[in-house]
Amino acid sequence: MKNAILALAFAACSRSSSEPAPAPRPAPPVTRLEVPTDEHDCVAAGGKWHADGYAMPSCMLPTRDGGRRCTDWNECEAGCFASMDVKAGTVTVGTCASCYHCTGGCWNEVRGGRAKGGECN
């Protein structure tokens, strides 16, 4: 009798094999900061004004999710990146950028769980 009750309880809690698996929860929306466009406002916001010689000076403002694992650009404030040695099309897990405008001139975006391939400007 005890085994029959346990079997019924288990059957009631388990999902039949013909039922589809529940859809994964979408990632919560990422709130992106407005990055200051001048040195005074950048420093006041906790950023570092930086001119790397390749582009116009910009504010390297720290993100709140830097270093978190990610599989898509939109999961992060300032983008999801893989290491430069990961080839284009490779399934990979990246890392959220630690700051806005801090790619160092080269980057490898992760979108849809795949590396886009290294790019440099």
Domain ranges of the chain: 33-120
Task: Note the pLDDT of residue 54.
Answer: 61
56 has a pLDDT exceeding 90: no
Instruction: Indicate whether this model's pTM tops 0.85.
Output: no
pLDDT tens readout for residues 7-32: 333 344 334 344 554 444 455 667 77
Q: Are 116 and 110 in contact (CB under 8 A)?
A: yes
Contacts of 118 (CB under 8 A, 6+ apart): 84, 85, 86, 106, 107, 108
pLDDT tens readout for residues 44-55: 999 999 876 666
